[in-house]
Structure 1
Amino acid sequence: MINQFRKLNPVNLILLLAYTFVMRIVIFYETPAHLNFDFLEPFARLLISIDLENAFSASANIFFAAILVFIQALIFNRIINNHNLLTKPSFLPALMYITGASLFLPFMILTPALVCNFFLIWIIDKFLKLSKSPNAITTVFDIGMIIAIGTLIYFPFMAMLLMIFLSLLLFRSFNWREWVAGLIGFLTVFFFLAVFYYWKDNLNSFYQIWKPLGNKFPSVFKINYNDYLVLIPVAVIIILASLQLRENFFRSFISTRKGFQMLFFMFLVSAVCFYLKPNFRIWHFLLCVPPGAVLLAYYFSNAKKRWFYETLFLLFVVSVQYFLFV
């Protein structure tokens, strides 16, 4: 299967679509009676009146979530290939993205984090373009606005502001205008939101938006480890990929090295920003899928022993399905 997706064959588009639904067969088999879809954060609903909470039946919710994942996988695949992060263009990034987005049942429904992955994939593309742009002020300003729009949908997405500064450190020499441009882009969106709150004579509620920023990072976690055994094969592949990346690190182009460093930091930021949402759900970690999928794709793109990497991927897929059903 891996060998098939190592090629840029149009047939792979059909196979990817089929694979998307096969990986989600468990939730179609055991469709919940009702699923809510909170499209926007409560503070943004005054500005944009869209009520999608009960707009879809449970089956439609799951179906559209699968379609969104498939579309995101194709966009993500094109971006990774365009920036030459792997040894050669392939459909492996899309394959790994779809697999990562099928790890847990909460990943398979419409959620704010799933919608925000469109914005995350978009800013990955813009971050990777920073080193190629003679003047990055406009690009960084756009990134700030994209992050602000994503924050209206899912508040913890605000943590991606940190990625602006980390990416500028990686890809650009210091220019204070570029550092300020990202913040201005972000604040521009929230300035208009503040004006709207003021217009509605509800400015005190606007101040409440920022209360989660004062949350302390939790020191105690209640974890049912049996629910996360499926991450063992993921961890094995990531370790193998890290070893492979380390071996080839200094043979790669500088832009490729910096790209992987940026994605590593993005993975960490996406993982730890959950505390900004007091009642966060497991689907928050969908934000980790895009940067994580690149590392998984890197391993399968560079692995040499076919019998080993094909068997490893098969075991990965089987384990995902086993833990989903069990």
Structure 2
Amino acid sequence: MTGIFKQKTSSNILLLLVYGLILKFNRFLNPAGPAQQPEDHFLYNWLIGVLKPLHIAPVLYVLISFLLLYGQALLFNRICNDQKLLPRPNYLPAMAHLLTTSLFIEWNYFSAPLLANTLLIWIYYRMTTLPNIQKPGPAIFSIGVQIGIVTLLYRPAIVFVALVLLALFVMRPFRLREWAINILGITMPYYFLALVLYLSNSWDWNKIKPVFSISLPAIPSSIYHTISIILLVVPFMIGGYYVQANLNKMMIHVRKAWSLLLLYLIMAMLIILADGGSNFVSWMLCSIPITAFHAAMYFYINSRRMPMIIHWIVFGYAIYVNYWL
């Protein structure tokens, strides 16, 4: 399977759809409604408030979640190919995303982190293109607006503001004007939200401020969750080794893109601390950088059998998690 997705052929788009359906089809047989958490922010709560009176069947939420995950996989795969994160175009990032997101059932729920993750992929792409933009002002402002929307979906996502500022530091020479434009963009959604709340006579500061607490994440209470974490971490470490070993062969902008992914992962791990919840929904925000390093592992290992063995181990366990747990 890894050999098939290592090729860049248009038929792989359809094959990815079948691959994802095999992994996640049981979600359609046992559908769950949208996930709601105390950390959800105004936009997501408003969206759920709009959808609930419609009495939408849970299976439709599952369908939307699957399409979002499938779309995320294709979008991130295109970003990896455009930015040349791997030496040759392929569909390994898309395959890895559908596979890794099947290791936790919670990652397949319709949730605020799932919606935020979709926006964050696009934000990451815009950040990687910053060095090549002659007039970066509009792009930097757009990134700020999008990250502001992300924080209005999920309160702990406020830590991604630091990622955007670090991206400006890594990708661009320091210019105070650009940083000011970015901060203005980040606060813009809050201006509009405050205006709407004020005009509708429903002003409440608590609806705007991104409150969260720092606490240690819950220790996995199930051996199955522990195995899922191991199957995320071990391929990630192998992929990280191969990325590090091949850094000298990469162009400067590719190295920066990988560095940005690592910063992305660090910020997402801070989300886990900021959330401190008892479930794994918020861990979804780690999926994209982990996916990239998993794809690197499948690509760089010289042996033909080893990537295949690792893939089928993870695939088999993902099937077990989704169909028998």
The aligned amino acid for 1:308 is M
Cα distance between partner residues in 2 of 1:270 and 1:151: 13
Q: Write the mapping of 1:1-326 to structure 2, written as runs, cut at 5 A.
A: 1-29=1-29, 31-32=30-31, 34-36=32-34, 41=40, 43-44=42-43, 51-53=50-52, 55-203=55-203, 205-207=204-206, 209-210=208-209, 212-213=211-212, 215=213, 217-219=214-216, 221-226=218-223, 227-277=225-275, 281-324=279-322, 325-326=324-325
The aligned amino acid for 1:223 is P
Distance 1:75 1:196, change over 3 A: same
The aligned amino acid for 1:206 is W
The aligned amino acid for 2:51 is L
1:122-152, Cα deviation, whole Å (9 max, x unpaired): 1011010011123322211111100112222
* Partner SS state of residue 173, structure 1: coil
* Partner SS state of residue 23, structure 1: helix
Shift of residue 7 of structure 1? Answer: 0.9
Moved more, 242-251 or 121-130: 242-251
* Partner SS state of residue 297, structure 2: helix
Cα distance between partner residues in 2 of 1:113 and 1:301: 28
* Partner SS state of residue 71, structure 1: helix
Distance 1:220 1:151, change over 3 A: closer
1:55-75, Cα deviation, whole Å (9 max, x unpaired): 432222222211221122111
Contact 1:197 1:206 in 2 (8 A): no
The aligned amino acid for 2:299 is S
Distance 1:36 1:46, change over 3 A: closer
Contact 2:41 2:151 in 1 (8 A): no
Shift of residue 158 of structure 1? Answer: 2.4
The normalised TM-score by structure 1 is 0.90
Cα distance between partner residues in 2 of 1:153 and 1:198: 20
Shift of residue 283 of structure 1? Answer: 1.5
Question: Any unmatched runs of 5+ in structure 2?
Answer: none
* Partner SS state of residue 281, structure 2: helix
1:256-277, Cα deviation, whole Å (9 max, x unpaired): 1111111011011112224545
Cα distance between partner residues in 2 of 1:236 and 1:288: 15
Shift of residue 3 of structure 1? Answer: 0.8
The aligned amino acid for 1:221 is A
The aligned amino acid for 1:155 is R
Cα distance between partner residues in 1 of 2:61 and 2:25: 14
Contact 1:43 1:206 in 2 (8 A): no
Question: Any unmatched runs of 5+ in structure 1?
Answer: none
Distance 1:183 1:17, change over 3 A: same
The aligned amino acid for 2:107 is F
Cα distance between partner residues in 2 of 1:256 and 1:127: 12
Q: Percent same amino acid among aligned pairs?
A: 22
Cα distance between partner residues in 1 of 2:127 and 2:143: 8
Contact 1:93 1:294 in 2 (8 A): yes
Shift of residue 221 of structure 1? Answer: 3.4
CA RMSD of aligned residues (A): 2.5
Shift of residue 246 of structure 1? Answer: 1.5
Distance 1:277 1:244, change over 3 A: closer
Cα distance between partner residues in 2 of 1:9 and 1:219: 44
Cα distance between partner residues in 1 of 2:300 and 2:57: 42
* Partner SS state of residue 160, structure 2: helix
Distance 1:162 1:62, change over 3 A: same
* Partner SS state of residue 121, structure 1: helix
Cα distance between partner residues in 2 of 1:231 and 1:200: 45
Cα distance between partner residues in 1 of 2:82 and 2:46: 36
